[in-house]
Every structure is written in C-alpha cells, then in structure tokens.
C-alpha cells in the first residue's frame, strides 16, 4: 500500500506541474510551442478548453492538487484509509473519463497538445494505481 501511495504522490506532482505550466503559459503573450509540431494553442483555445466557464488547465491543477492531498492523507493518516481510498477512486475515475473525452476532442480536431496528452497519460496511471489500493 505504501508503494502505491508513493506512486500516486509522484504522479500527482507530475500532473500538477504539467497543468500548472499550461495555466501559467496561457497567461503569457507568446504562443505555446508544441514539441509534437502541432498547434497546442488551437487545442487550448478551442470551445472545449473550458468547463462551466473554468479553463481546463485550472481544473486540472485543482484535480492533481486534490489527488496529491488524498495520497498524502493515505500516507500520513492510515486510520482514514477506507474513506481516502474511496475518494481517490472517485476522483481518479472522474479524471480518467475527462481525459478520455478531451483526447477524443483532440482526435476530432486532428490537432494534439503534448502537454494535454501527458496529463491524460498521468490521469490514466492515477486511475490504475488507485485501483491497486
């Protein structure tokens, strides 16, 4: 259980860095350069870049911070394990479903954002790890 918890902590930190970078970069005047050679800005400026008026990278930052807090809770508060595992599984499932949808949007657009794909991969790994608990 401790090893899976550490994996969840590391994955959530990676996701937090990725989503926070996109959030920060969106506020900068120069466009985001995509290492894949695609137009990341087209993805980040699409009509699917927000949910209920909130940018996806902000929601991603909140998601990964929440997963990090839950994983730290598992590590430091073993008496609360059942509740924390349940919340982790619910959060990881929502993250996975959101990632599947947003990757589908990128496929539909025919344009890909490396940072978005990294986030999708991380949320998928969080989902898998959360069900190993």
Q: Which domains does the chain have, with CATH numbers?
A: 2-130 (1.20.1440.130)
- 99, 24, 10, 53: CA torsion to nearest 10: -40
Q: Is 28 exposed, middle or buried (0-12, 13-18, 19+ CB in 10 A)?
A: exposed
Q: What is the pLDDT of residue 17?
A: 98
Q: What is the pLDDT of residue 63?
A: 98
Q: What is the pLDDT of residue 100?
A: 97
Distance, CA of 46 to CA of 94 (rounded, Å): 21
Q: How far is CA 68 from the centre of its chain?
A: 11
What predicted TM-score, i.e. pTM, was given to this entire model?
Answer: 0.93
**60: number of Cβ within 10 Å:** 26
Tens of pLDDT, residue by residue, the chain (133 residues): 799 999 999 999 999 999 999 999 988 888 888 888 888 888 888 999 999 999 999 999 999 999 999 999 999 998 889 999 999 999 999 999 999 999 999 999 998 999 999 999 999 999 999 999 8
Distance, CA of 82 to CA of 78 (rounded, Å): 9
Q: What is the pLDDT of residue 32?
A: 83
- 114, 15, 132, 88: CA torsion to nearest 10: -130
Contact 88, 70 (CB under 8 A): yes
């Amino acid at each position: 259980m401790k090893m899976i918890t550490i994996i969840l902590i590391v994955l959530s930190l990676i996701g937090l860095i990725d989503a926070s970078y996109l959030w920060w970069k969106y506020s900068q005047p120069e466009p985001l350069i995509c290492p894949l050679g695609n137009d990341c800005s087209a993805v980040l400026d699409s009509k699917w870049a927000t949910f209920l008026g909130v940018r996806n990278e902000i929601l991603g930052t909140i998601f990964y911070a929440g997963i990090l807090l839950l994983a730290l809770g598992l590590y430091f508060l073993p008496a609360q394990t059942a509740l924390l595992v349940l919340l982790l599984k619910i959060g990881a499932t929502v993250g996975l479903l959101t990632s599947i949808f947003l990757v589908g949007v990128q496929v539909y657009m025919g344009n890909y954002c490396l940072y978005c794909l990294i986030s999708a991969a991380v949320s998928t790994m969080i989902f898998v790890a959360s069900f190993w608990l």
